[in-house]
Structure 1
Amino acid sequence: MGLVEWDSSYSVGIKEIDEQHKKLFSLFNELHGAMRKGRGSDKMSKILMEMKDYTEYHFSSEEELMEKYDYPEDDLKEQIDNHEEFVEKLNEFIEDHNKGKLTVSVEVLNFLTGWLKNHIKSVDTKMRGFFENKEL
């Protein structure tokens, strides 16, 4: 069992976005598994960079979809602000890790997974109602 498990409560009702969220869960579990097995710094760096690249791709996908369908401006701003906050924090972790100041600890994993789960359930699920009757 991974650190975070996907279930239907995380679904936003948009197949493309749900699949991207599942991939993010998979990356978090890969990072957790590597940490538990004591993988080297190079492996951790590789996973963190993949996570960074994929989250930026995913966030861009969400934001483009929201803009395309005229998602409410305040909710879009909240989404963008949340995304920027996460990327900034992830970049800090990566920079500290690369400088040898940070090992990927339970604290880092808890922040990353807590943010992901809370963000999906509190911010992303708002999309479900908005996009429910849209042709996607």
Structure 2
Amino acid sequence: MPLFQWSGDYSVGVGAMDRDHQKLFDLLNKLHDAMIEGKATPLVADIIKELLDYTKYHFEAEEKLMEKVSYPGLSEQKNAHQKFIGSIEDYKDKADKGLSAFLSTSMSIFLTDWLKSHIGVMDKKYQKDMNAQGIT
């Protein structure tokens, strides 16, 4: 059962970013399922790496779009993105050390809360700027 389901409420009105966000939700659910099912530590570590890699890819693409439209909240977004990546890297380090059994609850809560607040609040703010410049 998914931990966190995508819904239209999280749409930021930019198709490419919505698809990326859906992929992040899918990776979060994949990670959560692996931890709940007690999958081996290497599998959990691999999923965390996949989540980290995709997050970096997404943030780079999102920030490029914000730069393109001269989005005034870009600096705030970059700071939030850097902090998030740092947190995921910390979780990855723990998983790489075989501590994934201790990550399940805290990591799931952190990721879910962050995605809900970041996408649902911060990212929604750039919709008007992007849509006004034809990015939908």
Q: Does TM, normalized by the shorter one, top 0.5?
A: yes
Question: Given the two structures, how large is their TM-score scaled by the length of structure 1?
Answer: 0.94
* 1:81 and 2:55 aligned: no
Identity, in percent, stands at 40
SS of equivalent to 1:38: coil
**Is the deviation greater in 49-58 or in 103-112?**
103-112
Where in structure 1 are there 5+ consecutive unaligned residues?
none
Query: What is the match of residue 2 of structure 2?
Result: 2
Aligned structure 1 segments of 4 or more residues deviating by more than 3 angstroms: none
| SS of residue in 2 equivalent to 1:2 | coil
Q: How far did 1:100 drift? A: 2.7
Partner of 1:12: 12
Equivalent runs, 1:4-83 vs 2, <5 Å: 4-72=4-72, 75-83=73-81
| Separation in structure 2 between the aligned mates of residue 128 and residue 91 of structure 1, nearest angstrom | 29
Q: For 1:53 and 1:133, locate their aligned partners in 2 and report how far apart those are by CA, in whole Å.
A: 30
Structure 2 unaligned regions, length at least 5: none
Aligned partner of 2:114 in structure 1 is 115
The code of the aligned residue for 1:91 comes to: E
Whole-Å Cα distance in 1 between the matches of residues 35 and 7 of structure 2?
A: 24
**Residues in 1 aligned to 2:53 and 2:40: alpha-carbon distance in whole angstroms:** 20
